[in-house]
Structure 1
Amino acid sequence: MPRTTHVLAAVLVAGSAVIASMSSGGGAASGPDTRDPASADAGIPDAASADPIQDAPPSAWAGTLRMDPHERHGTASDGDLWPSCWSDDGSLYAAWGDGKGFDLDGEFSDIGVARIEGEPGNLRGVNLAQGDEVGPIWAESGYNRKPTGMVCVGDTIHLAVQDLALDFNDVPNATIVTSTDGGRTWTWDESGPMFDDHTFTTMWFADFGQGGEWSEDGYVYVYGLDNNWRDSFNDRVQDPTNVYLARVPEDRVADRRAWQFYAGSKGADAKPRWSKKIDDRRPVLHDSRRVYQQMLNPDIVHDMTVLSQGHVLYNKPLDRYLYTSWTEYTLEMYESPTPWGPWSRMESHDFGGYPWGPEQHAGYGATIPSKFLSDDGRTMMLQSNVCPCAPSGTPVYRYSLRQVELVPGRDVEPSNPLDGGNLATDPGTVAVSKSVRQGDLGALNDGATDVSLDDSDEELKRDSWWGYTWPEPKRMNRVVYTTGEIQDGGGWFLGRPRVQVRQDGHWVDVAGQVTDPVYPGRESVGSTKRFTVTFPETVGDGVRVIGVPGGDLAYSSMSEVEVYDDLALIDGGFEGQTGGVGGAWTFVGGAAHGIDGNGNHSHSGAKNAWVRTSEPLGPQLLTQTLRVEPGETLDLSAWVRTSDVVETVRLGVRYDGGEQIETFAGVPEWTYTRRATSVTVPDDVTEVTVVVGYDADGGDAILQVDDVALTR
């Protein structure tokens, strides 16, 4: 696949669980799970015979993740990448690539190391070493040095340095350099690179806090990619789709002979195997996804894998490992309970294709320094960069921080009350979309429709969505969305968009959904038009409206999305039925039944339900189950008509332990007649089944039903 070869590689955060998932939350600060009784090289299976690793699944651990769309704190510095570590001496040490560091009047260098003091918003730095003082270039012409990872073991600093091609498309060599004097001087094994042949040549470390104080097993954990530091835009080498892991005693990091590689797990408790042989290694994370596969402009960079040079933070307050990765246009985050997995996708924050304005930008080389982690672990600072060498429109070529807020999911029963209002305005709600050109999704749940949001992002995409996530599950049965501005190039959905909810990290279609009015599925839908989607009550910790974007520019627009759980009989007019009785409605009995759809037999609209039999089958009932509040009084009505032989029409509710069903005479005039009854919900009942039907006592018994309604 052809790709352009310009340099910027947008950053994708891969941390601790995908934006779309949640489970039991985390907060135990008992220390990292790194204990391992397995001995190195013990019972290692042949790598070729091992089961193929699967793509990382969506996370069921994370609840919500909110990320700044742009830089929050910049610094007076020059350069990119900035892998860092927090030393015992209290300082943050960081290494830059291709710049002047914190001396803007100094010399340019392909690599340098600085000490950074202060807190976000008031950071200052001083250069310590650069160029040949930091490390060598092992390859011949066509390569330079780049820092990829840094770790502090007490006051000792270890820095991973790679040979990166000048066109950024392959990495043949890498080594570890070490400083014991606060970054001023550096040493390394001068006999050759620690890793070569494009194997494990992009390295970063697990960050265990100040000086490694959160580590309990005496090992340094090192993650690595083969071939390149990100997707190889010209396909000179294979694009990285695997992350590998090594460990080494913390006092022997520079000694290659002491390294052990993760070689898979064994047993019901997935104990890790370790091998000194690099050929025995197995990936700890595999992700073969490709993003932005088709662009409006095929000449700009596209079709990229998502695993790139990043960072792993052990978030001690949340007891979770968070990996941040990136692509040209996205920041990716993954999470895991241990250094070796299982890793799950937590977030793919999409900033759209070039160009960017000041309202949003992606970034590359994503790291989350432990020094800036909040006490509860939920607020972090992410460093990433945007190169002026790419057509991004917004360079961020300095030590730069944006804020990330992560709330683990809570595995609890939904507690939102019926008719509790718009769930989109509940505290903790985080809006989500495929992308948003305006950079900020705040208008999606502001209660107004005067601001139009859209996901015009230069991609010829298949899916477009607008919705919300929460840290805990919600009950819901109605979504109301208002379209944004419809323009010649797009803004609408092709066909009818559908509602999905997030369950255990996965987005699934809601069953039995009915849209009113019918969505036209073309440009004629119009701007700021309101559509209501009702469905049987369901539970999820996220909800979204999703569909295929329309127009030559392939985007949708939205001005508001509302979410409710209220007392609602779904599709009482049967207009949403396709084929037979289905969706929220079920049928109990043995008679023939179905939907009339030509408007000739309905009370209103085009459709109605019907039941017909000549057999003496007894009660034949259309039913629908819904949640109610104990003790409330409900008014139930339906428009019915019958053939002459029908003597009894039934209308009411059933519930666990009883029923309240009123009987009425048939309607021999074959004219629609409204039947109504009131029911009082017992104090111990939270769910009822509405029933409407008739008694089939023999003869040609026909019932037609329409406009069933339930109100308080």
Structure 2
Amino acid sequence: MIRHLSLFFVFVLITVGVSAASDKNTPTDADNGFTWKSEVPDDCPFERSQTLTAIFFTGRHSDYHCGDTWYPSWASDGNLYSPWTDGKTDGVSCKSGYDGKKAHTGHGMMIGDDPLRLIIKNTSPPKAASAEPYKGRYPAGSLVHNGIWYYGTYCLGPAGSTKHNGFTWNWPVLGPMPGFQISRDMGKTWEPSPLSPETPLFPEPKVHLGPVKMGAPHFVDFGKNMKHSPDGKAYMLGMGAMVDDPEPRPCVKPATGGGFEVQDCDTDFAHANLSWITADQVYMARVKPSPETINDIKAYEFFGGHDVNGKPVWTGDFEKIKPLIEWNNNMGCVTATWVPGLKKYLMCITDGWPTVAKMDSYILEADTLTGPWRMVVYLKDFGDQAYFLNFPSKFVSEDGRTLWLCYSANFSRGWNGVKLDFNPPGGRYGLCLHEVKLLGPSDSTSTANKSLKATW
């Protein structure tokens, strides 16, 4: 009940346009940089990191006019290759949320070594693939390895604009992953996936609009041509939820006098307990990537928890998959990057309930993919509505402390009367790149700012 009441007040504040940005960001006296105030919820299950404790935004950011949904993969030719959709890139439009039959996804190439001076081109026109019986089919895991581009998609439903009790949701149901299309010429031509939404790569959901575990999977970024993979395998992280969740996310409805209040969901409403941007757990799979294996579930192994000695268990049986990490009603889209200079993995997670308001993101760190994972920083209302966060490995400094955060923001400005501002400045509904520096317990924002070097 306490959580529900707090959410009510959050919605009231959002709707009347009250901004708390000045409370969250601590400006430095050196330039436009600032440290984002970390506000970790009391029920957070992750221990605090002892080595990385804050994130400093330098004020440097990109100004590209492209679509959203960028997950760059660093290829052996030195370029980054990424999916994109819902917007215009290189003069071409693309949208993944059509009526189910005409969902399109784009293929982009990012040329250059300076994040602020990239040349961004399409490798080929956007491709259509049916999402039926769902209505949307969006980009997911994307990997370029040994000159071959593997491009995954995932399905969403029941509609991009779903109304319930006076509130408009965005894609409140996360659907299956219908495999990978394959390009052997760096995105110029494509072989369609042999799978489909009705015959997906992973055997889920059990019923239409039911929950999945390996939802919207993304490849762990191991650097140029997967250089730092521990065993030559590609690893994917998916977001998911369990059947019969004992504490599912509540719904919302308009409140008397303005704002919104939470309420229990109707049993016939498949809602944002597991949506395009909300989840309860993170799951993991791995595969030796090749055109023969990437769409063959028999080639995959799944993380099955830890044994009595604390060692990770891997299984070929999807039914034995276990959560890598979980935080009920606080998880969502997930990505991870290996940072050689730190000898750590960084994981980005966004909890975007209720799919169209302000969103919270957080960054975790771990020495191994199987954990334990520790909290670095919790970014409340980041964006204000930032999603699809990731750290492209190409733009990580040698010491691992300076990185570029890739994301998109504020797609639903004005939905349900919610006011959204771009915070940090320089965000946009499309491709965003912001330079950041990770701080430790002994670092200050002023010394962090002075230590930054123009390395790009």
Tell me the TM-score range normalised by the shorter chain.
0.5 to 0.7
Query: Is structure 2 residue 94 aligned with structure 1 residue 108?
Result: yes
Match of 2:123 in 1: 128
Aligned partner (choices 323, 326, 332) of residue 286 of structure 1: 326
Give the superposed CA RMSD.
3.3
CA distance in 1, matches of 2:250, 2:336: 22
Q: Please tell me the residue identity of whatever aligns with 1:114.
A: G
Q: Give a deviation string over 1:363-408, Cα, whole Å, max 9, x none.
A: 1110111011111111111111113432324471222101221145
Q: CA deviation at 1:139?
A: 2.6
What letter corresponds to residue 317 of structure 2 in structure 1? K
State how far apart, in whole Å, the 2-side matches of 1:266 and 1:227 are.
Answer: 22
Determine if contact 2:305/2:322 at 8 Å carries over to the other structure. yes
Whether the aligned pair in 2 keeps the contact of 1:306 and 1:332 (CA below 8 Å) is: no
Give the corresponding residue for 1:194. 201
The structure whose residues are more often strand, as a share, is 1
Q: Runs of 4 or more off by more than 4 Å in structure 1?
A: 1-4, 18-21, 231-235, 423-426
SS at match of 1:283: coil
Secondary structure of the corresponding residue to residue 375 of structure 1: coil
Partner of residue 373, structure 1: 396
What corresponds to 1:248 in structure 2? 287
CA distance in 1, matches of 2:183, 2:237: 20
Which residues in structure 2 correspond to 1:324-473 (within 5 Å)? Answer: 324-327=348-351, 328-351=358-381, 361-391=384-414, 392-394=420-422, 396-408=428-440, 427=447
* Amino acid in the other structure paired with 1:173: P
Q: 1:87 aligns with which of 59, 75, 84?
A: 75
SS in 2 for 1:82: coil
Distance (Å, rounded) in 2 between the aligned partners of 1:190 and 1:244: 21
Q: Which runs of 5+ in 2 are unaligned?
A: 15-36, 97-104, 161-169, 206-210, 243-248, 253-264, 352-357, 415-419, 451-456
SS in 2 for 1:287: strand
Q: Distance in 2 between matches of 1:76 and 1:425?
A: 30
Distance in 1 of aligned mates of 2:317 and 2:174: 21
Distance 1:398 1:424, change over 3 A: closer
C-alpha contact 2:39 2:378 (8 A) present in aligned 1: no
Q: What's the CA shift for 1:426?
A: 7.7
**AA of the residue aligned to 2:224:** Q
Counterpart code for 2:139: P
3-state SS of paired residue (1:211): helix
Deviation per CA, 1:611-661, whole angstroms, max 9, x where unpaired?
A: xxxxxxxxxxxxxxxxxxxxxxxxxxxxxxxxxxxxxxxxxxxxxxxxxxx
CA–CA distance in structure 1, aligned partners of residues 407 and 445 of structure 2? 31
Q: Distance in 2 between matches of 1:152 and 1:307?
A: 27
The aligned counterpart of 1:217 is: 231
Which of 152, 155, 158 aligns to 2:150? It is 158
- How many residue pairs match? The answer is 343
Shift of residue 65, structure 1, vs aligned partner: 2.4
SS in 2 for 1:89: coil
C-alpha spacing 1:225/1:130, structure 2 compared with 1 (3 Å) = farther
Matched, 1:57 2:57: no
How far the C-alpha of 1:255 sits from its partner, in A, is: 1.9
User: What residue identity is the alignment partner of 2:233?
Assistant: Y
Q: 1:705 corresponds to which residue?
A: none
Q: Deviations over 1:553-590 (max 9, x none)?
A: xxxxxxxxxxxxxxxxxxxxxxxxxxxxxxxxxxxxxx
1:313 to partner: Cα distance: 0.2
- The amino acid of 1:109's aligned partner reads K
Of structures 1 and 2, the one with the larger relative CO (CA 8 A, separation 6+) is: 2
Which residue of structure 1 lines up, in the alignment, with residue 220 of structure 2?
Answer: 206
Partner of 1:172: 175
CA distance in 2, matches of 1:263, 1:227: 15
CA contact (8 A) 2:94 2:126 kept: no
Query: Structure 1 residues 426 and 101, CA, compared in 2 at 3 Å: closer, same or farther?
Result: closer
Match for residue 500 of structure 1? Answer: none
Residue 232 of structure 1 and its aligned partner are, at CA, apart by 8.9
Task: Name the SS for the 1:279 alignment partner.
Answer: helix
Gaps of 5+ in 1: 7-17, 22-53, 289-304, 353-359, 411-422, 431-712
1:207-260: CA deviation from partner (whole Å, max 9, x where unpaired):
1000101113121111111269xx896762434111011111233233221111
Normalising by structure 2, report the TM-score: 0.67
Shift of 1:275: 1.1
In 2, distance between residues paired with 1:346 and 1:129? 39
Q: Distance in 1 between matches of 2:190 and 2:241?
A: 26
Deviation at 1:362, TM superposition (A): 4.5
Match of 2:85 in 1: 97
Note if contact 2:50-2:441 (Cα within 8 Å) is conserved in structure 1: yes
- Identity across aligned pairs (percent)? 22
Is the 1:157–1:182 contact (alpha carbons within 8 Å) kept by the matching residues of 2? yes
| TM-score of the pair, normalised by structure 1 | 0.44
Alignment counterpart, residue 132 of structure 2, candidates 134, 139, 148: 139
Are residues 279 and 427 of structure 1, via their aligned partners in 2, closer, same or farther at CA, if it must alter by over 3 Å?
A: same
Task: State the distance in 2 between where 1:383 and 1:310 align.
Answer: 13
Are the counterparts in 2 of residues 91 and 117 from structure 1 also a CA contact under 8 Å? yes
